[in-house]
Amino acid sequence: MSIDQRIQTVAYRELKKAVLSHGATSGSAVVVDVATGEILAMVNSPSFNPNNRRNTPVHRFRNRAITDTFEPGSTMKPLAVLSALEFGSANLDTVVDTSPGTMRIGGSWVRDPNNYKELDLTGIIQKSSNMGVAKLVLDMPHQHVLGLYNNMGLGEETGLGLAGESSGIFSYRQRWSDFERATFSYGYGLSVTAVQLARAYATMANGGVNRPLSIIKNNEPYPGQRVLAERHALAMLEMMEANIGPGGTATRAQVHGYRVGGKTGTARKAVAGGYGDDYIASFAGVGPVSNPRIVTVVVINEPAGDFYHGGEIAAPVFASIMGASLQLLNVTPDADTGPALISRAGGHNAN
C-alpha cells in the first residue's frame, strides 16, 4: 500500500486531538503525494480497534474520507477564480470592486463580513470574498464553471477503487438561477468527499495536471490529464500562500520553515428545508509552494462551542500534519517562508 505509517500516525493523532478538543462529531484527514497521486495517509476520528470490534457502533467502521460528503464552502474559491482565468474573463491583473460588501440577487443576498472594496485575485482568495468570486462566476457561462470543477475531479470517483466511495453530489442541469451560480462559486450547491477535495488541490499543486488517486504503491504514476494552464495553477499556489500570511483567513496554517498555501472552508450543514446551526470546518493546502510535494485536507464535522471556522480549528491541524510530513519525507526547508504576493486587501475574515 501507499500509506506511510509514520505520516498516518501523525495525521491520526492530530485529527483525534482536534475532534476531542472541539467537541466535534467526527473528522477526516487525507495526505496525497502530488507527483504520483498516492495516498500517504487517510484517517478518520472517531475510529475503532480492528482487533476488537465488539461493542463498537457500526458507524465507526466506515471510511468517512471516501464515504461522507459535505458542501465544501470556501475551499472552492480557488477553483472559481481559476474558472475565470481559464475562460479568459479575468487575468492575473484583474481587480474586482466588491463594494459595498453586499449584493442582492433575486430575493437573496450575497455578503462579505466587511466591505473589502477593490480586490485583486490574490485579495479575493486572501480575504475569502464571497462578493469577489460571485462576480467572477456571474461573468461566465455556468457550463464553463461546471466543466472546470468536473475536470478537477469533482462529481466522480477518485480512482482509488475502494468499496463505498461516494462520487459526491454534482448537478449537470441546464437551468441555474443567478443566485445558485453565485453560491456555487463559494461551495454551496454541491457536495464532495475529503479525497475528492484532495485530488482537486493536488491538480493545482501538480501544475494543472489531474491524476487519479491511488492507495497502491506505484512504480510509475498513473497518466495525468492537463486541465489547467500551468501558469494559472502556479499563480493560484501563490495566491493561497498569501492566504496564510498576515491579513489572510488562515494564519494558523503556517508551517515553520516551509512555504505553504491553502484555503479555509466553513459551511453550514444542510437540513430539510434549508440550513441548520451545525457547521463543517475544513482546510485544504499544499506544501511546499516552492516545489509542491504533498496536499493535506482536514475536515472537522459539527464542532461544538464558539469556534467553528476552518481557519480556527482545521488550519492548525493542517499545519501540524503538513509540518511533520515534510520533515518525515526529508523535504528541504525553504530559505524564505514569507507570503509571495502582497494583496490590495484589508481587514480579516475567519472563513
Active site residues: 74
For residue 9 the three cell numbers come to 500516525
Task: Give the bridge partners for 169, in sequence order.
Answer: 191
128: left (phi over 0), alpha (psi -120 to 50) or beta: left
Q: Chain centroid to CA 85: how far?
A: 19
Q: Classify burial at 143, counting beta carbons within 10 Å of its beta carbon; exposed 0-12, middle 13-18, buried 19 or more.
A: exposed
CB count in 10 Å sphere of residue 2:
18
Rounded Cα–Cα distance for residues 132 and 97 (Å)? 8
Query: Can you tell me the distance from the alpha carbon of 153 to that of 64, in angstroms, rounded to the nearest whole number?
Result: 18
**CB of 29 within 8 A of CB of 193?**
no
Q: Write out the three cell numbers for 44.
A: 478518520
- DSSP E strand stretches across the chain: 26-33, 39-45, 95-97, 102-105, 108-111, 118-120, 209-210, 225-226, 261-271, 274-287, 294-301
Question: Quick one: 348 exposed, middle or buried, by C-beta within 10 A (0-12, 13-18, 19+)?
Answer: middle
**Cα separations (Å) of 52 from 45, 47, 58, 175?**
17, 12, 13, 51
Alpha carbon 333 to chain centroid, angstroms: 23
Identity of residue 291: N
For 109, the grid coordinates are 443576498
Whole-angstrom CA distances from 322 to 58, 149, 260, 329 are 31, 25, 9, 10
